[in-house]
């Protein structure tokens, strides 16, 4: 019985890695589309979001099967319940990336190159998602906690974006709408960072049994 359970846990980890990779990919595609002013690439993001939704349902089914058909001990229960919480945040990361991509289609070919911090935010959030999933699979507490450091980078970049865009509007009021669009996209990247922090907190719970938000 335990052997079957362990097989299912391995499958769960595999699917979590796949979902994490999809999240990393959708963030990277959205960021590239923004920096290149590439509407065609931006329009591919929606299909990636559908893939994320699909694998979320697969993971939910595996978790329910583990809970209903097997006999998980306390640590197993923490790992399964953490996975269920994590995929909710990962799905929302996909939604935020789709929101970024949608705004890109209204930029009329303009790029986000005037806001270099946005590139840094994208790179940091990708790193955060990667580390979260790796920490979950490896049950690595220190790796989970490293995510908080990258969140500080994202927050600092977001503050800089706001300052720079205020200057941009002051220099050229005709760029007001463009600046607001960039600010919205930066805000979505900042929210992606917040979701990654949530994921890291659930990884900590799966290892220690304590949830930081409690």
CATH of the domain at 126: 1.20.58.220
Tally of domains in the chain: 1
pLDDT tens, per residue, the chain with 214 residues? 567 888 999 999 999 999 999 999 999 999 999 988 899 999 999 999 999 999 999 999 999 999 887 777 888 899 999 999 999 999 999 999 999 999 999 988 888 776 788 889 989 999 999 999 999 989 999 999 999 999 999 999 999 999 988 888 888 888 888 889 999 999 999 999 999 999 999 999 999 988 875 4
d(CA 190, CA 196): 10
User: Domain for residue 103, yes or no?
Assistant: yes
Cβ density class 188-198: b for 16+ within 10 Å, e for less = bbbbbbbbbbb
In a domain, 26, yes or no: yes
What is the reported pTM? 0.91
186, exposed or middle or buried, with CB in 10 Å at 0-12, 13-18, 19+? buried
CB-CB neighbours of 130 under 10 Å: 18
Helices (H) and strands (E) in the chain, counts: 7, 0
């Amino acid at each position: 019985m335990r052997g079957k359970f362990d097989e299912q846990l391995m499958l769960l980890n595999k699917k979590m890695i796949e979902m994490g990779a999809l999240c990393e990919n959708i963030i990277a595609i959205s960021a590239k589309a923004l920096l290149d002013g590439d509407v065609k690439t931006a329009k591919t993001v929606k299909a990636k979001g559908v893939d994320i939704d699909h694998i979320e349902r697969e993971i939910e089914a595996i978790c329910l099967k583990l809970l209903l058909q097997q006999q998980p001990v306390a640590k197993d229960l923490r790992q399964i319940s953490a996975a269920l919480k994590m995929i909710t945040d990962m799905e929302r990361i996909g939604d935020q990336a789709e929101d970024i991509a949608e705004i890109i289609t209204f930029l009329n070919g303009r790029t986000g190159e005037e806001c270099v911090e946005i590139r840094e935010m994208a790179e940091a959030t990708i790193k955060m998602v990667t580390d979260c999933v790796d920490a979950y699979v490896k049950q690595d507490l220190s790796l989970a906690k490293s995510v908080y450091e990258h969140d500080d980078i994202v927050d600092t970049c977001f503050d800089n974006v706001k300052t720079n865009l205020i200057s941009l509007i002051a220099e050229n009021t005709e760029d007001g709408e463009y600046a607001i669009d960039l600010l919205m996209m930066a805000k979505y990247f900042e929210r992606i960072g917040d979701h990654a922090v949530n994921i890291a907190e659930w990884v900590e719970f799966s290892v220690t049994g304590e949830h930081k938000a409690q």
